[in-house]
Amino acid sequence: MAPRTRLSPDQRRAQLLQLGARLFATQPYEDVHIERVAEMASVSRGLLYHYFPTKRAFFAALLAQAADQLAEATTPDPDVDPRQQLLDGIENYLRHCAANRLGVSTIHRGAASGDAEIEAILERSTRLHEERILAVLVPGDEPRPLLALAVRGWLLHLRTVGHEWATTAPDVPVEEVRDMCVGALVGALSALPPDARPPTLDSLTI
């Protein structure tokens, strides 16, 4: 084992999560041994377990960190119009996916884990983005359930597109992927009955 580098508790935790992301992004959950993270960080297993007592706790922390980073990267600018907020939000999301392929893969794998705690983290993330979009589509009003369903379905579509683009088709220009995703949302909203369509729909058309 290489000499241990002295780090603060926050730095050590961040280091362990960074190393763990490489494992969880490239291997099925059941094949990952978090003891390998201790070896990669040149620390004892006891120290690793001090921060993360179980593999499940490690993965949950990793997923929560990825969700927080995504939320920060896609914070909307309330000073621009709805169309620009949508364009900026999607492009920022896609660029975040491209710059953080490991975190995106972790979220993608977490969505299929079937674990209640993991699903709760993903649900909080999805709900945050859903509320952000609905606040722009129907400002100051309660959205119709069908509208909320359309937005949630589109967010799941965006998550899949972001993962597939970042990991399998990064040569496709981000602007083309962005416009495709905008078109998918506008199409879903346009298919709603008139009384469920958001008042800002026309302003979203590119």
Per-residue confidence (pLDDT) for residue 31, from 0 to 100: 83
Task: Give the pLDDT confidence of 66-78 residue by residue, as tens digits.
Answer: 888 888 988 888 8
Residue type, 51: Y
* Rounded Cα–Cα distance for residues 141 and 73 (Å): 26
Q: Could you tell me the maximum CA-CA distance found in the chain, to the nearest angstrom? A: 66
Query: By the 8 A CB rule, do 70 and 93 touch?
Result: yes
* Secondary structure tally for the chain: helices H, strands E: 10, 0
Query: By the 8 A CB rule, do 14 and 52 touch?
Result: no
From 101, 78, 123, 118, select the one nearest 22 (Cα to Cα): 101
* Superfamily of the domain at 60-198: Tetracycline Repressor, domain 2 (1.10.357.10)
Per-residue confidence (pLDDT) for residue 149, from 0 to 100: 96
CATH 1.10.10-classified regions of the chain: 9-53
**pLDDT bracket for residue 1 (50, 70, 90):** very low
**pLDDT bracket for residue 2 (50, 70, 90):** very low
Query: By the 8 A CB rule, do 102 and 110 touch?
Result: no
Task: Give the pLDDT confidence of 96-125 residue by residue, as tens digits.
Answer: 888 877 767 767 766 666 678 888 888 898
Q: How is domain 9-53 classified at the CATH fold level?
A: Arc Repressor Mutant, subunit A (1.10.10)
* Rounded Cα–Cα distance for residues 161 and 177 (Å): 8
Q: How deeply is 88 buried, as exposed, middle or buried, from its count of CB atoms within 10 A (0-12, 13-18, 19+)? A: middle
Task: Give the pLDDT confidence of 40-72 residue by residue, as tens digits.
Answer: 999 999 999 999 999 888 988 988 888 888 889
Per-residue confidence (pLDDT) for residue 172, from 0 to 100: 96
Per-residue confidence (pLDDT) for residue 101, from 0 to 100: 78
Per-residue confidence (pLDDT) for residue 148, from 0 to 100: 96
Question: In this structure, what token pair is assigned to residue 13?
Answer: 């935790």
